[in-house]
Amino acid sequence: MDACEVAICEGRISGYGKLRKVFAAAILFCAVGAQAVEISEPNGAGLKPGTLPDHWMTGGPNCVSVPDWQVHEYNDDFYILRESGCIHFEKPFLYLIFGNEKALLEDTGAGEVQTAPFVMDLLAKWAKRTKHAPVKLVVIHSHAHGDHIAGDKQFQAMPEVEFIDHTPEAVSKAAGIAKWPTDIGSIDLGGRVVDVIPIPGHNDASITLYDRVTGNLLTGDSLYPGRLTVPDLPAGAESAKRLVAFVETHPIAYVLGTHIEQMRTPYLDYPRGTTYQPAEHALALTRGSVFELNQVFLDMNGTPRTVAEPEFTVISRKPTAKKN
């Protein structure tokens, strides 16, 4: 039984009225086994182009043959790393962006993983291949949850690494954000500026990164193909609104998050803890996904609930009172 059949047999579509309307279409989609294709970034706005793979390794079915990391060069100076599900079921994506003077790494992995040696080796190979002087590494985080900070101590032990802690205060100082979360900051890598946009909601320290060179928008756990948990609904709604305002005035190539939990079949996702995901959704979402997420929050109108969209599900709650 394949992954689509498993999800349907588990009744994962029965909870949503609109899903019943697409039941037949979902089965057809599973039957034909639609595949993602390698696509090139649109370059109408003068963005540096790149490609995305037709599929990613997840974890298994035979972990012996799965490397700890999969690295995809979107282009020469923008790398996408995926941690193997055989190490940790979250299988997070990390991003490594090279400038003339610095390289920026977003997140450090999940579970028992050796991130720092692997990333430092990538930096050395990049410098050798491009005949470029070694660049300084800057480490930042999409947010503060454990499946994105597991390798932090490895980088903190390296004096040559500029490590930005996963707090609003540390990010604000490093990126020059005057007022969190309403202002936007930036990090200059040398001939390449990455904007830092605070988007609390999923986590107090959640951010989006915007690479001005490629037009890629890195949205962390706040927007990706999967289950978007929003423990702080008011903050999440305001963040989505600000993200729309940013997207309206900037060219967007792809929206790239830090996980894939969704299947290629609309409305269906893999259960939490799944290691092997042979029919998972593509990593990339689109500019329109930002508007779709904002509309979900607008429709909620402050009332927490779960809303399923074809490519993601929003699970929102009101924030709990903090204990003194």
- Give per-residue pLDDT as tens, 193-223: 999 999 999 999 999 999 999 999 999 999 9
**Which residues in 115-154 are b (16+ Cβ under 10 Å) and which e?**
bbebbbebbeebeeeeeeeebebbbbbbbbbebbbbbbeb
For residue 319, what pLDDT is reported?
A: 80
What residues in the chain have per-residue pLDDT under 50? 1-41
Distance CA 74, CA 272 (A): 28
DSSP run (H or E) holding 194: strand 193-198
Please state whether beta strands 193-198 and 185-188 pair in parallel, antiparallel, or not at all (unpaired): antiparallel
For residue 317, what pLDDT is reported?
A: 87
DSSP run (H or E) holding 237: helix 233-247
158: its two tokens: 């390296």
Q: Angle at CA 169, nearest 5°, toward 167 and 174?
A: 95
36: its two tokens: 């993602």
User: 35, exposed or middle or buried, with CB in 10 Å at 0-12, 13-18, 19+?
Assistant: exposed
For residue 230, what pLDDT is reported?
A: 98
For residue 50, what pLDDT is reported?
A: 98
Distance CA 143, CA 208 (A): 9
Contacts of 171 (CB under 8 A, 6+ apart): 140, 164, 165, 177, 180, 185, 196, 198, 205, 207
3 state DSSP class of 117: helix
- Give per-residue pLDDT as tens, 246-259: 999 999 999 999 99
For residue 189, what pLDDT is reported?
A: 98
DSSP run (H or E) holding 242: helix 233-247
For residue 2, what pLDDT is reported?
A: 37
Fill in the DSSP letter of residue 320.
P
323: its two tokens: 């204990």
Domain assignments of the chain as residue spans, ordered by start: 53-316
- CB neighbourhood size of 22 (10 A): 18
Q: Angle at CA 109, nearest 5°, toward 103 and 110?
A: 175
Distance CA 48, CA 191 (A): 13
- CB neighbourhood size of 218 (10 A): 24
Supply the pTM of this predicted model: 0.87
Distance CA 219, CA 210 (A): 9
Secondary-structure class of domain 53-316 per CATH: alpha beta
